[in-house]
């Protein structure tokens, strides 16, 4: 915890009786966003010990942050799919509305016991008290052990809910923030969109859950075990959201004993960060295991797959864990090297403006780096002098990255033919990791 000094003042008392009255000290300081207050005072003379009777702190404007958390909300007698969350709010410049959810199927009770004096006691001590010594006990309904953690904040209204479902209960947290005491966010309404479950439960697992190498193609199998009840409509689509940087190719699939080749499974158009497959027929009954095989390379140490099944516009998330497995996360070996080997296309390259091999493209894999980072290309002559530096933002740093150089220096002048050292790197916060790699390229024209 870090404290910021706001004011420092001295207060002296004289020897006369007129100074023995109550003294008031006023301090005015700039508006400060804080949660705790601490005051240090030192007696520098005499044996009297003045007592501080009261401290009052005054602010102005709106609170910088307010969090509103619902009680567990029952979604009905049966579990429901949490589809999306919408809200209506006013958020002026300098304010923010942040909404999160969590879900579960079980509720517990938190019972607190009090004596007749209002003191909280343990249950064992409460049982030993005589009846006239016992006070009230309070019962609070709290989430059970199967509840999910809070989701990441939803950035826009109408966003799909990422908390596990179908579930019987949900909690919602809304946080209103303001950086300006004169303005505040206002949350007017909040609404959940619910759907009937496609299946009562769907468990999933990725096998193997440990890759032998990072950045190298490997075959994985997704196993889905659905359980159905009366009224469940089943599903005919599987959507696999891939870990950052990964790209997967579909191999084949199966539903129970029925095997399907790649040509029998319809791969629906989607982005490179996901795999969307339509099954030949809906899966709506029985205990058949649905499996999909795909191949691809992974670039993070811990690679989490998000899986949903759908039918029409309704989607249901898959819970991790089949046959006691480790769920939908695959691990790769950890090393300190963040960058892999650099490959150069068109080496040597000829930057003479004829449109053929005018640039050299440096291709390299980035490992175990989460989120957005800056990619850096530094070019040096054989004399060690830096001639060019290029920085390029990458929304997802993990995976195969590409940087290009056109043979020119910082001023845009074409450099003489020759050999150049191209050093690529990625900006990371951790120290001691190998974050740069070098490739020798030739410019010829």
Determine contact, residues 305/211, Cβ cutoff 8 Å: no
Q: Rounded to whole angstroms, how far apart are CA atoms 239 and 308?
A: 5
* Of the residues 155, 177, 195, the one at which a domain ends: 195
Determine contact, residues 331/209, Cβ cutoff 8 Å: yes
Give the pLDDT band (50/70/90) at residue 431.
low
Note whether residue 41 is domain-resident.
no
Spatial CB neighbours of 272, under 8 Å, sequence gap ≥ 6: 247
Residues 184 and 77 occupy one common structural domain = yes
Q: Rounded to whole angstroms, how far apart are CA atoms 201 and 190?
A: 27
Cβ neighbourhood burial of 433 (10 Å; 0-12, 13-18, 19+): middle
Cβ of 309: how many Cβ atoms within 10 Å?
Answer: 24
Give the pLDDT band (50/70/90) at residue 7.
low
* Of the residues 280, 301, 331, the one at which a domain ends: 331
Q: Tell me, what's the pLDDT at 16?
A: 46
Note whether residue 280 is domain-resident.
yes
Give the pLDDT band (50/70/90) at residue 53.
confident
Residues 96 and 169 occupy one common structural domain = yes
Write the secondary structure of 225-243 as one string of H (helix), E (strand) and C (coil).
Answer: EEECCCCCCCEEEEEEECC
Share of the chain above pLDDT 90, in %: 66
Note whether residue 1 is domain-resident.
no
On average, the pLDDT of the chain sits at 89
Q: Tell me, what's the pLDDT at 433?
A: 57
Give the pLDDT band (50/70/90) at residue 321.
confident
Average pLDDT rounded to a whole number, residues 58-79: 92
Q: What is the CATH number of the domain that holds 358?
A: 2.60.40.4070
Residue listed under structure tokens 């479902």: 165
Q: Rounded to whole angstroms, how far apart are CA atoms 121 and 109?
A: 17
Residues 136 and 82 occupy one common structural domain = yes
* Number of residues assigned to the chain: 445
pLDDT > 80? residue 113 = yes
Residues 270 and 149 occupy one common structural domain = no
**261: Cα within 13 Å, side-chain hemisphere:** 1
Give the pLDDT band (50/70/90) at residue 322.
low
Residues 243 and 300 occupy one common structural domain = yes
pLDDT > 50? residue 278 = yes
Q: Rounded to whole angstroms, how far apart are CA atoms 355 and 368?
A: 36
Query: Residue 138 corresponds to which tokens in the numbers above?
Result: 């309070």
Spatial CB neighbours of 70, under 8 Å, sequence gap ≥ 6: 171, 172, 173
pLDDT > 70? residue 430 = no
* Of the residues 136, 170, 195, the one at which a domain ends: 195
Q: Rounded to whole angstroms, how far apart are CA atoms 241 and 304?
A: 9
Predicted TM-score (pTM) of this structure: 0.75
Q: Rounded to whole angstroms, how far apart are CA atoms 232 and 79?
A: 12
φ, ψ for residue 132, nearest 5 deg: -75, -10
Share of the chain above pLDDT 70, in %: 92
Is residue 348 reached through a cis peptide bond, with omega within 30 degrees of 0 on the bond before it?
yes
Residues 390 and 432 occupy one common structural domain = yes
Note whether residue 47 is domain-resident.
no
Number of domains in the chain: 3
- pLDDT tens per residue across span 99-108: 999 999 999 9
Residue ranges making up the domain that contains 407: 343-443
Note whether residue 337 is domain-resident.
no
Cβ neighbourhood burial of 114 (10 Å; 0-12, 13-18, 19+): middle
């Amino acid at each position: 915890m870090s404290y910021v000094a706001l004011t420092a003042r001295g207060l002296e008392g004289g020897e006369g009786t007129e100074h023995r009255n109550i003294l008031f000290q006023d301090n005015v300081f700039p508006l400060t966003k804080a949660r705790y207050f601490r005051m240090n005072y030192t007696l520098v003379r005499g044996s009297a010990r003045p007592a501080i009777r009261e401290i009052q702190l005054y602010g102005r404007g709106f609170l910088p942050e307010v969090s509103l958390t619902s009680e567990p909300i029952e979604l009905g007698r049966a579990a429901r799919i949490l589809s999306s969350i919408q809200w209506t709010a006013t958020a002026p410049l300098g304010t923010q509305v942040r909404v999160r959810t969590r879900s579960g199927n079980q509720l517990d009770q938190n019972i607190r016991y009090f004596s007749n004096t209002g003191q909280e006691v343990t249950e064992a001590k409460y049982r030993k008290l005589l009846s006239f010594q016992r006070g009230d006990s309070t019962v609070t309904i709290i989430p059970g052990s199967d509840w999910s953690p809070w989701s990441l904040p939803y950035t826009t209204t109408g966003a799909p809910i990422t908390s596990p479902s179908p579930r019987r209960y949900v909690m919602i947290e809304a946080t209103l923030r303001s950086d300006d005491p004169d303005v505040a966010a206002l949350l007017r309404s909040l609404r959940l969109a619910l759907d009937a479950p496609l299946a009562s439960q769907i468990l999933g697992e990725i096998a193997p859950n440990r890759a032998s190498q990072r950045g190298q193609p490997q075959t994985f199998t997704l196993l889905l075990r659905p359980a159905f009840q009366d009224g469940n409509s089943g599903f005919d689509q599987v959507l696999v959201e891939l870990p950052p940087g990964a790209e997967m190719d579909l191999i084949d699939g199966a539903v129970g004993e029925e095997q399907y080749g790649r040509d029998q499974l319809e791969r629906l158009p989607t982005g490179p960060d996901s795999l969307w497959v339509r099954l030949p027929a809906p899966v709506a009954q029985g205990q058949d295991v649905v499996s999909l095989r795909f191949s691809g390379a992974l670039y993070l140490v811990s690679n989490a797959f998000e899986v949903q099944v759908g039918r029409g516009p309704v989607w249901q998330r898959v819970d991790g864990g089949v046959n006691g497995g480790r769920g939908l996360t695959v691990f790769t070996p950890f090393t300190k090297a963040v960058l892999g080997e650099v490959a150069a296309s068109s080496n040597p390259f000829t930057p003479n403006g004829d449109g053929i091999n005018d640039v050299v493209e440096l291709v390299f894999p980035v490992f175990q780096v989460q989120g957005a980072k800056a990619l850096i290309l530094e070019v040096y002559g054989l004399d060690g002098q830096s001639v060019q530096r290029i920085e390029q933002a990458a929304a997802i740093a993990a995976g195969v990255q590409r940087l290009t150089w056109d043979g020119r220096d910082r001023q845009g002048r074409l450099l003489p033919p020759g050999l150049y050292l191209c050093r690529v790197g990625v900006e990371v916060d951790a120290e001691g990791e190998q974050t740069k790699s070098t490739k020798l390229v030739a410019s010829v024209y």
